[in-house]
Structure 1
Amino acid sequence: MFERFTKAARAVVKGAVDHAERDGATVVTKDHLLLALLDREDTRASAALRSLCPPERRPSLIAALADARRRAGLSRADTKALADLGIDVGAIVARVEETHGAGALAGDRKDSGWWSGRQSFSREAKTVLEKSLRVALARKDREIGDEHILLALTMTGGVVAEALADHGVTYASVEAAVAGPTAL
């Protein structure tokens, strides 16, 4: 599948690995893929992101991802469902962080290491990459571009899709931006 990736899409994957390494994470996650997309310039996905989530709104998007990471990756829907059962996620996070330090539930275990010397991808990140292939095929595109990765991120659910949607980046809006006259 990777041979079908454009240069821009390959750069996103490499950028995601770089983000994971900088974070000290043991796996590349969907968050890292999004952060790598946000780093890109002069690509179809970057043009779509620039029009849908201008640079001045990006700190809010990144803060939403960081906040969800603090909650062990729970989305607002997950948090609400637990609250309906009488479980206060905020209180649990506060107590765990009080005992174990800030970000204790973030899931970035730095002690497990990489047995192969290569950064591995989380199941969810692999799903995004697989869905990017399906998106490209459905659109009858011959290659997988960074825009396909962005489209896949919007449709996989979870915290990243939720944060993107909160910032106006949905599958429909990305598809329209990529197809529109301002697309590269």
Structure 2
Amino acid sequence: MFERFTDDARRVVGRAGQEAAELKHGSIGTEHLLLAVLALPGDPSAAVLVDAGLDHATAQQAVRRLLGPGDDAEALAAIGVDLGAVREAVESVFGEGALDAPDEEPAARRRGWFRSEPKARRSPFTAPARKVLELSLRESLRLKSGHIAVGHLLLGVLREGEGLGAKVIAGHGLDAQAVRRAVEATLG
């Protein structure tokens, strides 16, 4: 699928990972894709949001406000989540150490039939973010484009509609359908 992405769209996907890392989030969500789109304010589709007052800094503030600074126990405590109580409750049901990461097995040096299979690599994208990538392809096909551009990614965020990216757009007071029409116009 990524072979259809324009260079800027590939930059957005790569930048989404950087956005997640900067915010100390463990995975890439729709909000990180939105932030990465807004990091290209010169793109006509991103300019639709920027011209409406939703720039990268404003969106990043909204994400920080909604999610906090990542895996920070103090931020969770600030909204009333006691990680100690959560761990205690989970361990009372599933057993001690249920939330601990599994021990890494040493690399197998066996040959032939006894060789261990490599572990499957988990996608860094959340399910809604993967859905956005899929929907960007569908938007491209619907609009009869031969590629997936930044605007198609933004349309994917809007079409998915449930993720934090769409919520940040709506929370800024923007009408998703009006944004959709404006983005489609930039895509020709």
Same-fold status (TM-score > 0.5): yes
- Amino acid in structure 1 at the alignment position of 2:149: G
RMSD, aligned CA: 3.6
Name the structure 2 match of 1:164. Answer: 169
| Structure 1 segments unaligned to the other structure (5+ residues) | 73-89, 101-110
CA distance in 1, matches of 2:19, 2:129: 13
Q: For residues 95 and 122 of structure 1, do their structure 2 counterparts lie closer, same or farther at Cα, with a shift above 3 Å needed?
A: closer
Map 1:9-20; keep pairs closer than 5 Å. 9-20=9-20
Cα pair distance change 1:169/1:129, threshold 3 Å: farther
Q: Deviations for 1:69-111, whole angstroms, at most 9, x for unmatched residues?
A: 14x9xxxxxxxxxxxxxxxxx99932538989xxxxxxxxxx8
TM-score between both structures, scaled by the size of structure 1? 0.66
The Cα of 1:60 is off from its aligned counterpart by 4.2
Distance 2:184 2:122 in 1: 36
Are the structure 2 counterparts of residues 40 and 5 from structure 1 closer, same or farther at C-alpha, using a change threshold of 3 Å? Answer: same
Q: Once the 2 structures are TM-superposed, how far is the Cα of residue 118 of structure 1 from its aligned partner?
A: 9.0
**AA at the equivalent of 2:146:** R
- Write the letter of the residue equivalent to 1:69: L
What's the offset of the Cα at 1:126?
0.6
More moved, 156-165 vs 140-149: 156-165
What percent of counterpart residues are identical?
A: 30
Q: Indicate if the aligned counterparts of 1:48 and 1:183 stay in contact, CA closer than 8 A.
A: no
SS in 2 for 1:26: coil
The CA deviation at 1:137 is 1.1
Match of 1:96 among 82, 91, 103: 82
Residues 2-41 of structure 1: matches in 2 within 5 Å?
A: 2-41=2-41
Give the corresponding residue for 1:107. none
Structure showing greater radius of gyration is: 2
Which secondary structure does the structure 1 equivalent of 2:47 belong to?
A: helix
Normalising by structure 2, report the TM-score.
0.65
* CA distance in structure 1 between the aligned counterparts of 2:33 and 2:176, rounded to whole angstroms: 16
